[in-house]
Structure 1
Amino acid sequence: MERLDKSVASSLTRFYIVALCVVAMLTISGLFLIRRTINNLNHDSRMVNVAGRQRMLSQRLTKLAILNVGQMKHSDSTQFNALVKIWKESHENLANKKLPVENGLVTWKSAALDSMFLDLMPVFDSIYLNFLLVNDSTIAVPQKQQALSQILEKEPLFLAKMDKIVFQFDKESFQRLENLERIEWILDIMTILVLFAEGILIFRPVVNTTRRVVKMLTESENALQLSNQKLKEANNQLLEAQNELLRVEEEKYELQLAEDRIRASALIEGQEEERKRFALELHDGIGQMLTGLKLHAEKLKSVQFHDEKNQKRFEQLVTLIQDIIQTTRQISFNLMPSVLSDFGLNAALRLLCEQTAELSGIKIEFDGDVNKRIEMNRPMEIGLYRIAQEALNNAVKHANADKIKIKLEQNKNRIILEITDDGKGFLISNLKSEDGLFLTRNGMENIRTRTQLLNGEMEIVSKVDSGTNLIVRVDL
């Protein structure tokens, strides 16, 4: 292939360039000659028209001269002087070989025409002078009649000579056409010869070279097809191995996800059980003891203390016991609210909103039907409650919100939990780590994990200074 590139391609390129240049030059030359001849023919037609008009003007001027000398009325409104002027200027332009056209002057070379115009000049001058005498109002009528006689005598000679001039113009124009035809034949024959030489010196070597190249390509293609067939078989085996490896990896990944989900579910379930047990311990154990302590303290209110300071300390002690009881109840409720198991998720969320609003001083609303309990399993009920509890705590601690709203609704077979606040908002990207997980310090990863364990969907919409909207959708 390297030999073909160097020996054939370069030589064929040179031949092509030379042949194309010759053909282009011949074509351009032919077009130039044709265009030039057409322009000349247009000028020839203009000259023939002007020469023919000279005959017409001379006859018209003769007629006007007769009418003028005879003092006869006529309808020709053309000024005699203007016609004489046009007739004279046209004759001088033809005689001087400078005929004005739209874009300039037309000139020509013709010894025959020069001789004819030179022979015509005395006749023209005689007729022109007599036209001037006829049109001169100071000349007497007999002199005008004599001038008219000379005009009538010279006019046939003028017309005859002008006919010869017109025919000479036409003859020379026809000769130029014949010359153009001969040149056109010469250019056509040269173009055909160049094309014939191009076919012998260029196209035939190209065909032979192409035949050799095609043969080499065919042999290479057959060898390539054989190699491709072997490579295809090897690729099929490799693909099968890759697919098997991918399947094993996918099964391993799914198994790992299932294990992580089971582990997380077991961990959360254990946490909930531990919270339930701890809440019962607080409520039934410490809570009952604190309640008994409060009763005993209230019975001592009737005892009179001799020291007023001791009386105030005792009252502070009673108040402290009451605060400890209230805090214990709040901790027990947060660990496992009894209203959740007794009245359902709607009632538990409403109570959560009321207690959080009382402690935080923020306006918290609950939008849901507390009189209707949504039937769902215990893990789903606890999971949705924990999601709402976590999101509400985040809004209270971090959002600087003036208003928070929790909405729970059932749409056919789907539960939708929505927590909205009008706080400062945030960028979602700031809550995620490099691997795409939510940072645990804000509780979002716990919400995401609980949502996944419920086979639900979580959506967060937040902008800076535009609040935050958390939506969790779970199918029953």
Structure 2
Amino acid sequence: MNQLDQQVAQRLTRFYILALTVIAVLSITGLLFIRRTLSDHNNDGRVVNVAGRQRMLSQRLTKLALLRISGIPTSDTASFAALLNTWGQSHRQLKRGSLHMEKTYLVRKSKQIDRMFTTIEPFFQSMYGSLARINAASTTPDQKKAALKTVLQNEPFFLEQMNAIVFQFDKESFERVKSLEQIEWILSVATLVTLLIEALLIFRPVVTHTKNVIRKLTESDEALRVVNGNLAVANADLAMTNQQLIETQHELVRATEEKYRLQIAEDTVRSAGLLEGQEEERRRFARELHDGIGQMLTGLKLQAEKLKVVPFPEPKHRQRFEELCEQIYDVIQSTRQTSHNLMPSVLGDFGLGAALQFLAEQTTRSSGIEVIFEGSDDENRLNPAVEIGLYRIAQEALNNAIKHAEAQRIRISWHHSDSKTALLIEDNGKGFSLKSPPQENRPIRATHGLENMRTRARLLNGELTISSKPKKGTKVTVQLPDTTS
């Protein structure tokens, strides 16, 4: 909308809200008046009933007093004292302006009713005192007769004044109802006037403005159709261009995916070749150590042991000879350990389970860390490449747990079945965050070793999962499909 439309809309909105507010106020006011008047009318009706009952109670008390003094029996079983108490209590409450019954009723009195209660008060007090003396057990018969005479003398005046009070209560209640009717007429007329003003100042301008808007919309509809036609042609061209772009994008995505797959395959072949070359080089070097240097060291040890029976001229020469023999033995053990780490013979002879168990025992002896092995009893051998790959993963994970995790307990679990093979290496070390980058003064993780483990698992068509949290330890899991040789 332009500025003029906004001004018109704002003005009409203000008028409309004002008119609705006035109507709502008038309606709510009328409802409140009606509700209040009904409540007051209910109170007035109860007051009139109680005031009328006062006449009946006075006549009933007079009759009972007369019958009691005359000695005439009566079928009225009501308690004289209770009737007298109710009559007196109701009179005092009416006079004070508050009736206490099932709830408290307000007695609305005019000045005229107050004057009428002032006029009737001496007659009431005289009758109430005389009736109380008649009810008293200590009063003599002559006193009761005198009291009855007083009651009979005052009763006509009391009844006359009480009738006037009842009629005055009823008259004032009717006048309040008439006042409510006048107020309702005023509110109704005000509501009708508000509706008329609303029709003239709001609805009529709204209708005129709506007609102008519809006319303008009709005039612009044809121009809009022409523009829509042009836009349809442009949209068709744009859709064709978008389709071509989408096809080009799909071709680009397919080319990129193909390039990525080729790169992954090339990396896999390269990694497989490198790892196979590494393993072959380890086998060759292990054989050289075992068959070459190992045999020569063993021969050297045998030659040295033969010299033990030769006497030495000095004790220090014997001591140096013993130290030399111990060094030769340590070199032999180191050579055997290095040869075993390069290519453990137990892996080729007895399989992966025995190799992992031997690795756990050997690590426990060399590092002093508790390494527990749990494996299945399946005697089916795996493919040699699979056994070597899983062994290297376990070896790398175990090495990381000892060097970086500072673990005190490591568990190696291996389970093999016809459907899958699972390898688990779990430690209770300090762990690490897989998301947070390394910070200063913080030991660098063996990321190269982790990548080697992932590469080996991928080459075995398996899945490697690493889960770790700071101070929660690390868990390395490898799962392979059926790998039975």
TM-score range normalised by the length of the shorter chain: 0.7 to 0.9
Go from structure 1 to structure 2 and tell me whether the alpha carbon gap of 1:196 and 1:395 turns closer, same or farther (over 3 Å shift).
same
In the TM superposition, what is the alpha-carbon distance from 1:61 to its structure 2 partner? 4.0
Q: SS at 2:389's partner residue?
A: helix
Q: What residue in structure 2 maps to residue 427 of structure 1?
A: 432
Give the direction of change, closer, same or farther, for the CA distance of 1:130–1:341 in structure 2 (3 Å limit): closer
1:343-363 Cα deviation digits (max 9, x unpaired): 322233334344444444555
Aligned 1:63-462 pairs, distance under 5 A: 63-67=63-67, 70=70, 72=72, 77-79=79-81, 82=84, 86=88, 89=91, 93=95, 99-101=97-99, 102=104, 105-108=107-110, 144=146, 147=149, 151=153, 155=156, 163=163, 166-167=166-167, 169-209=169-209, 216=217, 230=235, 233=239, 238-291=245-298, 293=300, 320-368=327-375, 372-376=379-383, 378-401=384-407, 403-421=409-427, 424-429=429-434, 439-440=445-446, 443-461=449-467
State the AA in 1 paired with 2:396. Answer: E
**CA distance in 2 between partners of 1:142 and 1:395 (Å):** 118
Contact 2:360 2:371 in 1 (8 A): yes
Q: Output the CA distance in 1 between the equivalents of 2:148 and 2:393.
A: 135
Over residues 320-367 of structure 1, what are the superposed CA-to-partner deviations in whole Å (9 max), with x where a residue is unaligned?
A: 445444433332222223333333222333343444444445554543
TM-aligned CA distance change 1:207 to 1:99, over 3 Å? same
1:426-470 CA distance string (max 9 Å, x none): 224499669xxx943683332232222223233345566665443
SS in 2 for 1:443: helix
Native 8 Å contact 1:99 1:106 kept in 2: yes
| Deviates most, 37-46 or 9-18 | 37-46
- Equivalent position SS for 1:188: helix
Alignment partners' CA distance in 1, 2:477 and 2:285: 30
- Structure 2 gaps, min length 5: none
Separation (CA, whole Å) in 2 of partners of 1:409 and 1:76 = 102
| 1:177-218 alpha-carbon deviations (Å, 9 max, x no partner) | 344334324422432332243234323433554566677599
Distance 1:334-1:107 versus aligned 2 partners, 3 A rule: same
Alignment check: 8 A CA contact 2:433 2:468 kept: yes
2: distance between equivalents of 1:202 and 1:358? 99
Deviation at 1:272, TM superposition (A): 1.4
Query: Structure 1 residues 413-422 or 167-176, which shifts more?
Result: 167-176
> Residues 164, 351 of structure 1: CA spacing in aligned structure 2 closer, same or farther, 3 A cutoff?
closer
Equivalent residue letter for 2:191: T
* 1:84 shift after superposition: 11
TM-score normalised by length of structure 2: 0.73
Residues 209, 226 of structure 1: alpha-carbon distance in 2 compared, 3 angstrom cutoff? farther
- Counterparts in 2 of 1:73 and 1:81: CA distance versus 1, 3 Å: same
Q: Once the two structures are superposed, what CA deviation does each residue of 1:116-140 show, in whole Å capped at 9, x if it has no partner?
A: x59x969x96797688679686896
Q: Summarize the Cα distance change of 1:193–1:292 in structure 2 as closer, same or farther, 3 Å threshold.
A: same
Give the 3-state SS of the residue equivalent to 1:427 in structure 2.
coil
Aligned twin of 1:472: 478
Matched residue type, 1:20: L
**CA pair 241-181 structure 1, distance change in 2 beyond 3 A:** farther
In structure 2, distance between residues paired with 1:130 and 1:292: 148
1:25 corresponds to 2:25: yes
For 2:298 and 2:148, the matched residues in 1 are separated by 163
Letter in 2 for 1:202: I
Range with bigger deviation, 60-69 or 260-269: 60-69
* Cα distance between partner residues in 1 of 2:141 and 2:8: 93
User: 1:130 touches 1:147 (CA, 8 Å); kept in 2?
Assistant: no
Tell me if structure 1 keeps the 8 A contact 2:425–2:475: yes
Relative to structure 1, is the Cα distance of residues 258 and 211 closer, same or farther in structure 2, using a 3 angstrom cutoff? farther
Structure 1's 322 and 167: CA in aligned 2 closer, same or farther, altered over 3 A? closer
- Closer, same or farther: CA 70–292 of 1 in aligned 2, 3 Å: closer
**Any idea what the Cα deviations from partners look like across 1:228-261, whole Å, max 9, x if unmatched?**
9839736655555544444443333333333323
Partner Cα separation in structure 2 for residue 43 and residue 149 of structure 1: 31
Are the equivalent residues in 2 in contact too, given 1:55–1:159 (CA < 8 A)?
A: yes
Q: What is the SS of the residue equivalent to 1:106?
A: coil
Normalized against structure 1, the TM-score is what?
0.74
Matches of 1:390 and 1:81, distance apart in 2? 109
CA distance in structure 1 between the partners assigned to 2:127 and 2:180 by the alignment = 44
- What is the CA–CA distance in structure 2 between the aligned matches of 1:192 and 1:320, rounded to whole Å? 121
Contact 2:374 2:412 in 1 (8 A): yes
CA distance in structure 2 between the partners assigned to 1:445 and 1:49 by the alignment:
102
Cα gap change, 1:205/1:227 in structure 2, threshold over 3 Å: closer, same or farther?
farther
User: Percent same amino acid among aligned pairs?
Assistant: 46
Q: Quick check: 1:406–1:420 contact (8 Å CA) kept in 2?
A: yes
1:314, 1:205 → 2: CA distance?
124
TM-superposed deviation, 1:274: 1.8
Cα deviation, 1:257-316, whole Å, max 9, x if unaligned, reads 333232222221221122222223333443444455556666667777777766666665
The farther-off stretch of 283-292 and 49-58 is 283-292
Question: Is the Cα–Cα contact under 8 Å of residues 54 and 91 in structure 1 kept in the other structure?
Answer: no
Residues 405 and 430 in structure 2, CA contact (< 8 A), matched pair in contact too: yes
Cα 1:18–1:78 change in 2 (3 A) is same
- Counterparts of 1:255 and 1:364, CA distance in 2: 41
Q: Secondary structure at the match of 2:80?
A: coil
The residue identity in structure 1 corresponding to 2:454 is R
Structure 1: any 5+ residue segments left out of the alignment? none
Whether contact under 8 Å (1:431, 1:439) holds in the other structure is no
Task: Sort the Cα spacing of 1:30 and 1:255 in 2 relative to 1 into closer, same or farther, 3 A.
Answer: same
CA distance in 1, matches of 2:401, 2:142: 129
Q: Which residue of 2 aligns with 1:2?
A: 2
Per-residue deviation, residues 368-419 of structure 1 (Å, max 9, x unmatched)? 368824232x321211111122223334444555554433220332122223
Alpha-carbon deviation of 1:19? Answer: 0.9
